[in-house]
Structure 1
């Protein structure tokens, strides 16, 4: 074999080796590129997942804050409505108590009322000896009807002996309320107590109207606020309304107060009517 053939074979071998090395290098480069892309994609997806999780967490925090704010606003609105209702009912009671001032101005009717209150008090105490207190201006009226009251009590209770009723001429109930005289007051009626003072029956007009008020409070609230259910918030109430709740509350209060304003007088008449009925009621 001459030198030319040897050189040719060597050249072919070198070419083959270089070609094989290039192919191997290209294969390694392609594999590396593929692994790089895969790893890069995994890293990107992992970061996206973290970002989505963080966004969802913050979104939930915002929703929770919105719900808390909405609930706070809603509770505050309800408390204000309840306070407004309570103020209105209390003002009605105050007007009813003012109306009791005229009861003692009707002489004959008030005398009969005092007698009935004495009979009722005696019947409730059922004591052989009682003490009686009244307003100073009612002393003469109480003394004038006392005997008839005791007689009526004995008849109704089917007793044989008259009870001893001592009317206090030194200790009196407070007088009627006056703007320039703050403190305890009494619009009329009497207070009975057992001889030892342990059992007391408060049969003043103020006590009776308090009883009437408590017994008729559901009816009064129904007449005044029966339509308030129209303003209840639905379960699908949009949380976006939170921002306008203060304005909405003001408008709602104006609307329902206007709606129920006409019913106020009717409820007041009902309270006074029931008060008078209970005042005259004898067990």
Structure 2
């Protein structure tokens, strides 16, 4: 019985060959599965790394772009400010020169005594109207006392004609204006507590303040005036 089922050497060799082929085929298929899976994992990992590097590069680029933009903005602002300051300085120097020239011409108004007397009268009257007191003192520089006293008499007379009140106006010789003053007067009332500065220098300062916008517009134009001084 056992002999009937005994395999010959050729049959055993055939069976071994089949088993070997089967095992080899399984190994090949398993190797292929491993290779496919490795390729998939490699592709996933590669894609992940690419995304990470791309994101990192984008972040660095955005940071550098912002830094460059900020640097450019700072540079532009610095240049603009320097240019603006230069223009403002040049304009202010021109304005200062104009008013310096006007200041130098003030002395010429005292040379014509009759015209100067009229100016002093009007400057004094302005103070008399503002104070509206019975006794008022006027301060002037000593060199102008003669013409000032005549102007005060005229101012007191005109004040009475216009207001209907007597006013006594005297020169405060104890507190004169400095000899270097260009001219004009200071009107003092309220027992010495109130004074109205109507000297030429002070009137020129007021003129500078009041006329400055118009002067700027005339010299530099309306749009430029707004651009640099608003």
Superposition TM-score, scaled by structure 2 size: 0.88
Match in the other structure for 2:65:
59
Q: Does 1:207 align with 2:211?
A: no
* Partners of 2:153 and 2:169 within 8 A in 1: no
C-alpha distance in 1 between matches for 2:79 and 2:162? 59
- Describe how 1:122-137 pairs up with structure 2 within 5 A: 122-137=128-143
Shift in Å at residue 27 of structure 1? 2.1
- Pairing partner for 2:158 from 147, 152, 160: 152
The answer to whether 1:173 aligns with 2:177 is yes
**Other-structure match for 2:14:** 8
Judge conservation of contact 1:131–1:195 (CA < 8 Å) in 2: no
Deviation, structure 1 residue 79: 2.2
CA offsets 1:96-135 (integer angstroms, 9 cap, x no match): 1111110001111111111222222211111111111111
Match of 2:35 in 1: 29
Can you give the 5+ residue segments of structure 2 that lack an aligned partner in the other structure? 1-6
Which position in structure 1 is the counterpart of 2:192?
A: 197
What SS does the corresponding residue of 1:101 show, helix, strand or coil?
helix
> Secondary structure at 1:172's aligned position in 2?
coil
The equivalent of 2:24 in structure 1 is 18
Q: Which has the higher contact order (CA 8 A, sep 6+)?
A: 1
**Cα distance, 1:29 vs. partner?**
1.7
Cα distance between partner residues in 2 of 1:106 and 1:140: 14
1:33 CA drift (Å): 2.3
Q: Distance in 2 between matches of 1:147 and 1:167?
A: 11
Q: Is the 8 A contact 1:191 1:201 kept in 2?
A: yes
Displacement of 1:169: 2.7
Matched, 1:69 2:75: yes
State the Cα deviation string for residues 205-254 of structure 1 (Å, max 9, x = none): 11222222221111100011117739x7xxxxxxxxxxxxxxxxxxxxxx
Match of 1:222 among 217, 220, 225: 217
TM-score (norm: length of structure 1) = 0.73
SS in structure 2 opposite 1:150? helix
Name structure 1 gaps, 5 residues minimum.
176-184, 233-283
Larger radius of gyration: 2
